[in-house]
Homo-oligomer: A and B are copies of this chain.
Amino acid sequence: MSQTLSEFDLIARFFDVQALTGSTDNPFIPLAIGDDCALLAPTAGCQLAVSVDTLVSGVHFLPDAPADRLAWRALAVSISDLAAMGAEPKAFTLALTLPQTNTQWLQDFASGLASAAQYYGIPLVGGDTTRGPLAMTLQVMGEVPIGAALRRDGAAEGDEVFVSGYLGAAHVALDYLATVQGGQASELLRAYYEPESCIALGMALRGMASAVVDISDGLLADLGHIANLSGVAVEIASELLPIHPTVVNLCDPALALKAAATGGDDYQLAFCVPADQVPALQALPFNVTRIGRCRAGRGVTLDQKSVSHAGYQHFEASHDDAR
């Protein structure tokens, strides 16, 4: 009954493409878009990992952000939560709220989303399109063998603390971009728009890491979740932090450290590994850096100084403000 499609049904058509929904004979997805619900066929011996994230225009991204890069980032950010559980991406839903129909924007958004969905091997299985202020909510679903999920509550005294990749570039991209030109700007923007969700690393950490979190709110804040839920103190040394080389080049040392330690939006994994597992970790083909250790106690310290409430609030004010 195509003649009854409303404006927003038409919008949904941009997303109902092979590139987004993937193969029609995916055994995990007996029924995708088009009915009251999607139907998924869970794999025997696995648990389903589920996470939901909302991005709001003017809060989490600039209203004039390029739609294709925004779409990629939205999916990568959500998938990062699967990586932090050691889960394999299996399917996602998208709820998209739009102020009006902008065909070019929608084509760009659908294109970027399809690219990211193919890159991460995660088909779109359902969604909702509504009218309203620009925002998007993605729910990702992944699978992990029973008992193998990486949680935040398993760190123990003596565990070594690691982080993947480089830190600080996404934060600098947003806050200091007006003063940055050319190739360096491109590199920073790529760190912001195309965070590399650490799916392969997360899956490799099954049975090895004692606690894992992804860095969305900032390294120290997210390590705070591990410290709190595991009941340990996490001690970080600033000279060990893998600050992004472009950030080191562009920023004075204090600013670079602040971006790396509290800046957020990096979507790398921070994790704890018992000492006897460290050789196995270092034999893996991933760029990971030891940044500290778990001790008896509670909370997070940076260079022996307790990370203060005021420090977080400063970050949060910057993070939540419209930009």
- Chain A positions within 8 Å of B, measured between CB atoms, are 1-4, 6-8, 30-31, 34-42, 44, 46-60, 81-82, 84-85, 87, 91, 93-95, 97, 125-128, 130-133, 135, 137, 139, 141-142, 144, 146, 149, 151-153, 212-214, 221, 224-225, 227-229, 298-300, 307, 309, 312-313, 316, 320
Contact = CB atoms under 8 A, between A and B. Distances in A.
B125 A50 contact: yes
Contacts of A60: 130
Identical chains bound together, number: 2
B37 A50 contact: yes
A117 to B, nearest CB: 16
Contact of A56 (B39, B97, B298): B97
Contacts of A228: 1-2
B225 A309 contact: no
12 contacts: A1-B227, A34-B229, A35-B151, A36-B212, A39-B50, A41-B47, A42-B47, A50-B141, A52-B128, A58-B132, A59-B132, A137-B137
A320 B35 contact: no
A54 B46 CA distance: 29
Contacts of A37: 49-51, 81-82, 84-85, 87, 142, 149
A130 B56 contact: yes
Nearest to A143: B42
B142 A139 contact: no
